[in-house]
Amino acid sequence: QVQLVESGGGLVQAGGSLRLSCAASGRTFSSYVMGWFRQAPGKEREFVAAITWTGGSTFYADSVKGRFTISRDNAKKTMYLQMDSLKPEDTAVYYCNAGPSVLTMKSSGSWGQGTQVSVSS
């Protein structure tokens, strides 16, 4: 099992940027697919982005493609989400996830506690 801690959330104006970090503990960090999900009030938790253990493949929700960039540093056991051109609809609690695959990570992966991102118009 891997433990995850997110940081970097905050309040930003529309058009601004934030960088989220997810620090992991556990010796098998590099074997997990890592990803970000978000949940806005009254909505279901939704996929944002994911990255394979080598970092060679990345996946993005259509709503964030071209604005968000996911990356990871296996030596530091840390994953990042660079969020640019933020919009009010990006406002949500952002959760870090580590799982066995992109398809199964939401149902069977490990979760962090979440970090709030708020974008004002």
Phi-psi region of 75 (alpha: psi -120 to 50; beta: other; left: phi over 0): alpha
Whether the predicted pLDDT of 89 surpasses 70: yes
Compute the Cα dihedral for 101, 106, 107, 113 and give only its sign. Answer: positive
Residue 1 is predicted with a pLDDT of 76
Distance CA 1, CA 97 (A): 12
Backbone angles phi, psi at 47, to 5 degrees: -70, 140
Distance CA 90, CA 25 (A): 28
Residue 53 is predicted with a pLDDT of 82
Residue 78 is predicted with a pLDDT of 93
pLDDT digits (tens, 9 = 90+) for 6-48: 999 999 999 999 999 999 987 676 678 999 999 999 999 999 9
For 75, which DSSP code?
T
Please compute the mean of the pLDDT values over residues 102-112 and round it to a whole number: 91
Q: How many CA atoms lie within 13 A of 60 on its CB side?
A: 13
Q: Are 28 and 77 in contact (CB under 8 A)?
A: no
Q: Which residue has the tokens 């529309």?
A: 14
Question: What percentage of the chain carries pLDDT values higher than 90?
Answer: 78
Residue 36 is predicted with a pLDDT of 98
Residue 31 is predicted with a pLDDT of 73
Distance CA 61, CA 77 (A): 24
